[in-house]
Amino acid sequence: MNPKFKKGKKSGGDHGGGGGGHEAGGMMRWLLTYADMLTLLFALFVIMYAMSKPQIQKVIEVQDSLAKAFKDKPASLTEVYKNYEKNKDLKPQEKQQQIKEFLDYLKEHVQAKQVQQFLHENPTIEKQINPPAVISPLRQLEEIKGKIDRYVGDNQLSGAMKATMQPERGLVIQLLTDGVLFDLGGAELKPQAKEIIKVVVQFIQEQKITNQIRVDGHTDDLPIHGGPFRDNMDLSMARAGNVWRYMITLGLPATQVSAAGYGPYRPVVPNDSDGDRRKNRRVEITIPPAEKEKIIR
């Protein structure tokens, strides 16, 4: 073989080989860039597909697989949840259901410590799947009325105590004074009166009533002769004040309860007979409805 040819081939081969290597290296870099782009596009489409499915386990598996494929740590539960929550294809009710399934899956398949950390990082998630109940302004008052009706029936107080729902006033608890709350012409609470008022306050506290409560005293039109009270107005105010004071001792805030006396000027029936006058001698505890709906959490 011609030595010059060999030498030239070798020299040319070295030079050409270098040039070929450079060209091959450039081609490989282009292929790597192209492959990276395809991989990222694949990852994007996989995530978009996974986010469109209600299968939470697959969402988590895809997130972790992608993270490991890119030699990164697995996605945190919060990252998975945030991506899952961003799905705009779901209606609010569907998303609420999916988030509930997501949380149920975590509690069943993920370590308790991780779930606790996740709930700590996302404190509103429980509210999203269990939204607070909204109740009407009258519902609490209707609950109290029902309890009072049962109490009246169980204790045979139908002639002395009555609860009614009135559209403009709210819940009105009417207590007749004769022989129940007070002695005739007196304003000191009788033992039975204290027991009845204690039950009413208990019902109010159980329903967590924060509305302003009124205690109104009323009398008949018969004039007062002698005794500590100048007239029926004084008597009605003293009776309402004593009911107010006892309700406060039972735990109701003094700023929540007010008292007033109206004497004979707001009768429920005309003062035409002894029976009707007895109906007008009363104390009314009025609880107006809340101005806004209340949220129960």
Distance CA 297, CA 134 (A): 9
Last residue of a domain, one of 85, 110, 129: 129
- In the prediction, which pLDDT does 105 show? 72
Please tell me whether residues 239 and 180 are part of one structural domain.
yes
- In the prediction, which pLDDT does 13 show? 47
- In the prediction, which pLDDT does 115 show? 73
List the domain range (segments joined by +) for residue 51. 3-129
- In the prediction, which pLDDT does 5 show? 42
- In the prediction, which pLDDT does 65 show? 56
Please tell me whether residues 82 and 199 are part of one structural domain.
no
- In the prediction, which pLDDT does 245 show? 97
pLDDT in tens, 11-26: 444 444 445 555 555 5
Pairing state of beta strands 133-135 and 294-296? antiparallel
Please tell me whether residues 103 and 167 are part of one structural domain.
no
- Reading the block at residue 50, the tokens are 């996974």
List beta partners, residue 163. Answer: 173
Phi, psi of 156 (to 5 degrees): 50, 55
- Reading the block at residue 208, the tokens are 């967590």
Please tell me whether residues 155 and 285 are part of one structural domain.
yes
Please tell me whether residues 100 and 22 are part of one structural domain.
yes
- In the prediction, which pLDDT does 30 show? 73
pLDDT in tens, 12-62: 444 444 455 555 555 667 777 777 787 877 777 766 665 554 455 555 555
Per-residue pLDDT tens, the chain, 297 aa: give them. 444 444 444 444 444 444 555 555 556 677 777 777 878 777 777 666 655 544 555 555 555 554 554 445 555 666 666 666 666 666 666 767 777 777 777 777 667 777 777 777 777 676 666 655 555 668 889 999 999 999 999 999 988 899 999 988 999 999 998 878 998 889 999 999 999 999 999 999 998 898 899 999 999 999 998 889 999 999 999 999 999 999 999 999 999 999 999 999 999 999 999 999 999 999 999 999 876 544 444
- In the prediction, which pLDDT does 184 show? 85
The answer to whether residue 134 is domain-embedded is no
Number of compact structural domains in the chain: 2
The answer to whether residue 227 is domain-embedded is yes
Please tell me whether residues 94 and 214 are part of one structural domain.
no
Please tell me whether residues 107 and 240 are part of one structural domain.
no
Pairing state of beta strands 257-261 and 213-218? parallel
Distance CA 140, CA 145 (A): 9
